[in-house]
Amino acid sequence: MKKKNSSRIIVFVVIFVVLLLLAGGGFFLFKMLTGLKSLAISADFAEQELDVNKDYTFTIMSDPTSANLKSLEYITDDATASFGSTGANDGKAILHTGAEGTITICVKKADIESNYLTFTVVDQAAKAAAEQAAAEAEAAAAEQARLEAEAAAAAEAEALAAENSKELIVTTDTVKIRATPSLDGEILNLADKGESYTRLEETEDGWSKIEFNGGEAYIKSDYVKVTTEEELLKIQQEKEDAELKEKEDASKKKEQTTTTAAATDDTKAAADAKAAADAKAAADAKALADAQALAAAQAATAAAAVPGHPFTDKNGQSTVFTNDEWNYFVNQWSYTGEAEEMISHHTIGELRTLYDATH
């Protein structure tokens, strides 16, 4: 009987263990089939910039879709904001924004974490007000620019009208420039004939207001006439041509005077040179005559001292010429001033032939 009861107990234990194993395996299999594998969140709105102090909803997705999402952890990096479940167990989450800046959110369960979503939070009302103020400022600036452009255009038109009303005038005689349009007005300067000025206007009582030394002055209209740039240039050119001709005439006259003076100087120099040459020729002639006279005197003295004149020619032959012969030879070459030297260059025969040919 005891043995039979033991067998029953063993059977019951085995059955219990089998059932326990089956239950544990089934639970493990259930957990594997229904356990959370991944999480993801997505925004239920299209805005990229979120407004402050507003609510925004998100959808939470899981794999598997039947996973229990009750114990999720809702994470945000902005302490002024709040992020959590809607409480309706509908797979939704709600974000309530706080201050301006950036905010990043995600959900987490155990070690499974969803994707991160980051948004910029701005004060939409302040931003709209700033944009409105900027638009108004831009419009005001545009309006100011338009007004300034209109004012500039008006000023330019006025300046152009004033410029067009100006006239170029030239004085027809010497005339006084006065500070006021009156014969009693202060005289500022005296304008010569042919000077040009810009006339700003002409008064009814015969005065012309002109530009003068950076200011304004007056001149009698009876002594001016309206001219043009072309006419003024022509007058100035004629004046310059006249001045140039006057200078050229003066230069030519000076040149002629200089040439005449130079010619006079050259004539005087030539006369002085001729006089000097004539004086030198006269001196040379006198010197030659003096030399000839001296030679004749010396010859006469020598002739008186000896009955003849001994002579040795260039070949070394010696003889004695008579005084008449020697005086003839000396007179023959006395013009050189070196008669005896000239005689010594001849032979005795040449000298006697010369003497015999003439006696």
Query: What CATH number should be reported for the domain holding residue 67?
Result: 2.60.40.10
245 and 184 housed in the same domain: no
pLDDT of 302 over the 70 cut: no
200 and 218 housed in the same domain: yes
pLDDT of 300 over the 60 cut: no
Average pLDDT over residues 109-136: 94
- Report yes or no on 3 lying in a domain: no
What are 148-163's pLDDT values in tens digits?
999 999 998 877 776 6
- Report yes or no on 14 lying in a domain: no
241 and 293 housed in the same domain: no
CA dist list (Å): 115 to 22, 49, 62, 251, 290:
38, 19, 12, 106, 149
61, 89, 122 — which closes off a domain?
122
CA dist list (Å): 304 to 294, 327, 343:
15, 12, 20
192 and 233 housed in the same domain: no
Lowest mean pLDDT of 24-28, 128-132, 177-181, 218-222, name the range. 24-28
Strands 38-43 and 55-63: antiparallel
Question: What pLDDT, on a 0 to 100 scale, did the predictor assign at position 233?
Answer: 82
Average pLDDT over residues 312-335: 87
- Report yes or no on 25 lying in a domain: no
CA dist list (Å): 338 to 53, 204, 312, 344:
149, 111, 17, 10
- Report yes or no on 271 lying in a domain: no
Token pair 């309206």 is at which residue?
A: 226
Residues 6+ away with beta carbon under 8 Å from 131: none
44 and 113 housed in the same domain: yes
More confident residue, 276 or 24: 276
233 and 212 housed in the same domain: no
Structural domain count, the chain:
4
What are 9-60's pLDDT values in tens digits?
777 778 877 788 776 555 555 555 457 899 999 999 999 899 999 999 999 9
Q: Give the number of other CB atoms < 10 A from CB of residue 358.
A: 7
Average pLDDT of the residues of the chain: 84
Question: What pLDDT, on a 0 to 100 scale, did the predictor assign at position 298?
Answer: 60
62 and 111 housed in the same domain: yes
- Report yes or no on 279 lying in a domain: no
247, 263, 279 — which closes off a domain?
263
Strands 73-76 and 308-312: unpaired
Question: What pLDDT, on a 0 to 100 scale, did the predictor assign at position 28?
Answer: 53
CA 210/CA 197 separation, integer angstroms = 6
298 and 239 housed in the same domain: no
348-358 helix and 323-332 helix, angle to the nearest 10 degrees: 90
Average pLDDT over residues 182-205: 91
Picking from 214, 224, 222, 212, the residue whose alpha carbon sits closest to that of residue 188 is 212
Strands 207-212 and 215-220: antiparallel
92, 122, 152 — which closes off a domain?
122
248-253 contacts at long range (C-beta below 8 A, 24 or more positions apart)? none
- Enumerate the β-bridge partners of residue 216: 211
Question: What pLDDT, on a 0 to 100 scale, did the predictor assign at position 343?
Answer: 86
69 and 117 housed in the same domain: yes
- Report yes or no on 154 lying in a domain: no
- Report yes or no on 54 lying in a domain: yes
Question: What pLDDT, on a 0 to 100 scale, did the predictor assign at position 162?
Answer: 67
How large a percentage of the chain has pLDDT more than 70? 86
311 and 251 housed in the same domain: no
50 and 110 housed in the same domain: yes
Average pLDDT over residues 297-310: 61
245 and 176 housed in the same domain: no
CATH, residue 190: 2.30.30.40
Residue range(s) defining the domain that contains residue 196? 166-227
If pLDDT is split at 50, 70 and 90, which confidence band does 222 have? very high
pLDDT of 117 over the 90 cut: yes
Question: What pLDDT, on a 0 to 100 scale, did the predictor assign at position 278?
Answer: 81
Lowest mean pLDDT of 179-183, 213-217, 232-236, 327-331, name the range. 232-236
- Report yes or no on 328 lying in a domain: yes
